[in-house]
């Protein structure tokens, strides 16, 4: 089961797009390439404080080791243990690693020269540190920071590989916070010698993004396969049907002046719930299952797919124009709210509902009601029988229910002969006397053991009866939902 809650302002959708394509891939990666250990350390300076040692290099890069005993740095060479490593180049970028490390060194003129890194990384933090006038970052985004937890193995040359679990993304201007959770495989990369951000195959199980104006994207219960960090765009996950296979909930509140933004929501299999508001435009493909989409504002095309799907709109039935156009139904309201519907069976208004499946459960219930009782159904009673069919009931079972009612008995009689029953079916359902051939056919069927309830169903679903009632149902069937 997945849960999606998206509320975005127009500026922040732009910010997100820029941050995703530039904020990570340009300043942060470029910063990583520029942060490299100097190979010439003759003029490096060493500062020890408590359990930390900072090595300042001529280029301005500072390498710091944390969680160690500085007194261990006394032999000509050796290996010391550290719980943290940081590397910073002012105006460019920084790395901070936590875990358990073994650092090999040799001493040269009192300055330790790092020969090797190895160990286990359980978290890292990487950030760009460009000045706003550097021309390397967007003023709307600012610097980018990525932090993660995981289980990474580091080799002696500073190369790491392993699994990441939570990836956090933030920018100094656009994002307030952001977290991507899951399991990601990090191929070998070198943090200290200009390593590129590699592709990270894996599975996302949650995305949380917050923005300065209160807009947000929240997605949980996912199972989204990804190729690399640049693909972890929340709005792209909205149409990842492989990730949305359960009973998912989608809430999208996006500003109306984003109407040109091409947003598609694909809920996948399962009984899904979708809410669209904020006035934006979107197409929704609900997939298999009995789905429910609530349209509170904006213009949307909704394809219900398989199952019995309901679209809920704000306001009363009288405020909408409901038409059947081939296989598509259109509802519209004076304030511009519009839903173009395809393969949607029901529309729910504030004061009632209209069924569009005139060839499905609703149409069958309407015709059977009319056939059994000889009148148009009341909306509450029709809603009860539609609900029975929607929840697995059969037309034969519904027919049996009608035939046990007092109203049916009063019209057909309690124990009439087969001949009288057939004649009454012709009179009540088809509004004519039986023809000779038709009468003989139904009489033979009863003699062969066909139940009377089956005859009632067959008359109700006959082409002749459908033609008689098409005018009453062609633009939908009003009913009152049961339960």
pLDDT, tens digit (0-9, with 9 covering 90-100), for 13-43? 433 332 222 233 344 555 555 555 554 455 6
Mean pLDDT in residue range 152-159: 78
pLDDT of residue 408: 94
Q: 338-342 and 328-332 as β-strands: parallel, antiparallel, unpaired?
A: antiparallel
Q: What percent of the chain has pLDDT over 90?
A: 35
Mean pLDDT in residue range 347-373: 95
pLDDT of residue 27: 47
pLDDT, tens digit (0-9, with 9 covering 90-100), for 430-475? 999 999 999 999 999 999 999 999 999 999 999 999 999 999 998 8
Q: How many CB atoms lie within 10 A of CB 217?
A: 23
pLDDT of residue 116: 78
pLDDT of residue 76: 78
Identify the residue with better confidence: 397 or 153: 397
50-64, 289-303, 322-336, 382-396: which range is least confident on average? 322-336
Q: Is the pLDDT of residue 228 over 80?
A: no
Contacts of 132 (CB under 8 A, 6+ apart): 139, 142
pLDDT of residue 16: 35
The Cα–Cα gap between 82 and 117 comes to 10
pLDDT of residue 14: 38
Here the tokens at position 136 are: 């390397």
pLDDT of residue 37: 55
Identify the residue with better confidence: 382 or 182: 382
Q: 323-325 and 264-266 as β-strands: parallel, antiparallel, unpaired?
A: unpaired
Identify the residue with better confidence: 362 or 150: 362
Identify the residue with better confidence: 22 or 235: 235
146-155, 169-178, 469-478: which range is least confident on average? 169-178
Q: Is the pLDDT of residue 386 over 90?
A: yes
Q: How many CB atoms lie within 10 A of CB 289?
A: 22
Most confident segment among 73-77, 141-145, 309-313 = 309-313
pLDDT of residue 230: 46
Mean pLDDT, the chain, whole residue set: 82
The Cα–Cα gap between 253 and 297 comes to 9
185-194, 297-306, 380-389, 413-422: which range is least confident on average? 185-194
50-59, 176-185, 210-219, 424-433: which range is least confident on average? 176-185
pTM of the model: 0.75
Q: For the chain, what are the domain ranges? A: 9-198, 238-356, 361-479
Identify the residue with better confidence: 2 or 76: 2
pLDDT of residue 382: 97
- CATH number, domain 361-479: 1.10.3130
Q: Is the pLDDT of residue 367 over 50?
A: yes
């Amino acid at each position: 089961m997945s849960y999606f809650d998206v509320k975005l302002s127009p500026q922040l959708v732009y910010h997100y797009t820029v941050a995703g394509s530039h904020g990570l891939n340009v300043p942060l990666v470029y910063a990583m390439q520029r942060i490299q250990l100097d190979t010439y350390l003759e003029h490096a300076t060493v500062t020890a404080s408590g359990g930390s040692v900072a090595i300042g290099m001529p280029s301005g890069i500072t390498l710091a080791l944390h969680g160690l005993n500085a007194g261990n740095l006394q032999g000509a060479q050796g290996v010391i243990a550290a719980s943290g490593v940081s590397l910073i180049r002012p105006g460019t970028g920084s790395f901070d690693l936590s875990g358990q490390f073994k650092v090999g060194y040799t001493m040269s003129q009192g300055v330790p020269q790092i020969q090797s890194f190895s160990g286990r990384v359980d978290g890292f933090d990487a950030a760009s540190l460009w000045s706003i006038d550097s021309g390397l970052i967007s003023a709307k985004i600012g610097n980018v920071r990525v932090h993660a937890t995981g289980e990474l193995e580091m080799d002696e040359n500073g190369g790491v590989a392993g699994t990441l679990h939570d990836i956090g993304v933030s920018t100094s201007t656009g994002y307030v916070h952001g977290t991507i959770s899951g399991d990601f495989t990090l191929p070998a990369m070198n943090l200290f010698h200009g390593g590129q951000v590699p592709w990270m195959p894996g599975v996302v199980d949650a995305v949380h993004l917050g923005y300065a104006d209160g807009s947000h994207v929240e997605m949980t219960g996912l199972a989204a396969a990804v190729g690399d960090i640049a693909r972890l765009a929340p709005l792209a996950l909205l149409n990842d049907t492989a990730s949305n296979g359960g009973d998912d909930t989608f809430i999208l509140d996006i500003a109306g002046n984003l109407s040109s933004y091409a947003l598609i929501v694909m809920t996948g299999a399962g009984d899904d719930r979708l809410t669209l508001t904020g006035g934006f435009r979107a197409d929704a493909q609900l997939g298999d299952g009995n789905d429910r989409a609530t349209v509170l504002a904006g213009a949307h095309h909704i394809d219900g797919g398989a199952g019995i799907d309901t679209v809920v709109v704000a306001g009363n039935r009288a405020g909408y124009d409901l038409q059947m156009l081939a296989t598509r139904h259109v509802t519209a309201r004076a304030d511009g709210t519009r839903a173009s519907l395809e393969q949607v069976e029901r529309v729910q208004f504030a004061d009632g509902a209209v069924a569009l499946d005139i060839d499905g459960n609703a149409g069958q219930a309407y015709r059977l009601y009319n056939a059994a009782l000889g009148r148009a159904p009341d909306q509450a009673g029709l809603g009860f029988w539609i609900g029975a069919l929607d929840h697995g009931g059969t037309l034969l079972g519904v027919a049996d229910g009608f035939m046990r009612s007092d109203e049916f008995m009063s019209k057909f009689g309690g124990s009439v002969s087969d001949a009288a029953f057939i004649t009454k079916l012709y009179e009540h359902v088809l509004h004519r006397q039986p023809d000779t051939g038709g009468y003989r056919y139904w009489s033979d069927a009863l003699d062969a053991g066909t139940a009377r309830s089956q005859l009632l169903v067959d008359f109700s679903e006959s082409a002749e009866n459908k033609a008689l009632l098409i005018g009453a149902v062609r633009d939908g069937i009003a009913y009152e939902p049961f339960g």
